[in-house]
Structure 1
Amino acid sequence: MKGELKKRVNALAKYDLLVIDELGYLPMTRQARYNLFQLINSLYEYRSIILTTSKDFTSWGEFFHDDNVAVPIIDRVIHHSHIFMLGGESYRLKQKVTS
């Protein structure tokens, strides 16, 4: 469907903030990686993105299956960003153990 990606990206670009949760949790198809790059590239320096992941930047090439895809996405994500590295136990697991 020609133009569908552009319409979806434009619709998401209307929001001041986009939240992408658990990036890298599930495998991504080649098309999904392309779509994510197009989305991040379109929002870059224009809108805010909150991105959560349990993966550090050095392993992004693994879930993108290609460092050539990961590097330009990381470049845009970290430019002008505030990075919060959180660690510790999963709060879900901790609640389960104490219940």
Structure 2
Amino acid sequence: MTNPQVPGMDFEAWGIDWPPPDDEVVPLQAAVVGNAPEPDEGFQETEEPAPESPPSVAMLIEGLLFLGDRLVNFAMAGRVIPALEASVFEQAIGGLNRRYRNALRELAK
């Protein structure tokens, strides 16, 4: 018998039953899941220990202020952005700093 999907292929000449019996047909998902390798016995998934205390909002704001100041310093030195944009960049970071400082003052009350 020839396979209609592969014209000219004579499975009987090769000793292959076509179409295969229904009990030999395995759905693709079952074949893939059934052939999955066993997990390595030496590998054990561990969770990272949680930090002792989560960072506070004030610490995050201080970090942002520090990074903003560093970026302004680099911008003024011409290392990050062109000198023409440095003043605009400095104003934008300064505005952010004011907002964060005000938020920090509100948190400290």
Give TM-score scaled by structure 1 length.
0.23
Larger Rg: 2
Higher relative contact order (CA 8 A, sep 6+): 1
Give TM-score scaled by structure 2 length.
0.22
